[in-house]
Amino acid sequence: MSTDHPYQAGLDAGVVRYQACEDCAAWQPLQRHACRACGSTRLAWRDATGRATVHSVTEVARAPTEDFRALTPYTLVLATLDEGPRVMAHAEPGVTIGERVRAGFMRHGERTLLRFQRE
């Protein structure tokens, strides 16, 4: 599948990865080509600890695609990694904003999904 993408390959290996600048060390929101802080194009993928704080929570009752229908209802969160970047992921039901979570990994079909659980 898309294991050539560093973020997805990381999930398959059981780690959350994020991009950081090799020149000034600033973390990058989403995937970028140049550093948001200094403009350097020397960006590298780093392994995060997987610890995060829940920023927002969405309960999904109707899956957007057939692929996800088997999982409904499920919980999606935006979580802020301790390293700074914010990631979208599945989560243990009932997590609340501000709660501390740690990364877990769930196989779904051919892919590995990031799924946070309470610490």
Q: Decide if 28 contacts 36 (C-beta within 8 A).
A: yes
40 binds Zn ion (CB under 5 A): yes
- Pattern 66-85, Zn ion, x by CB under 5 A: --------------------
Q: Decide if 95 contacts 77 (C-beta within 8 A).
A: yes
Q: Which of 1, 13, 14, 24 binds Zn ion (CB under 5 A)?
A: 24
Total of residues contacting Zn ion (CB under 5 A) = 8
Q: Considering beta carbons, is residue 19 or 112 the nearer one to Zn ion?
A: 19
Q: Considering beta carbons, is residue 38 or 106 the nearer one to Zn ion?
A: 38
35 binds Zn ion (CB under 5 A): yes
User: 86-91 and 111-118 as β-strands: parallel, antiparallel, unpaired?
Assistant: parallel
Binding site for Zn ion (CB under 5 A): 21, 23-24, 26, 35, 37-38, 40
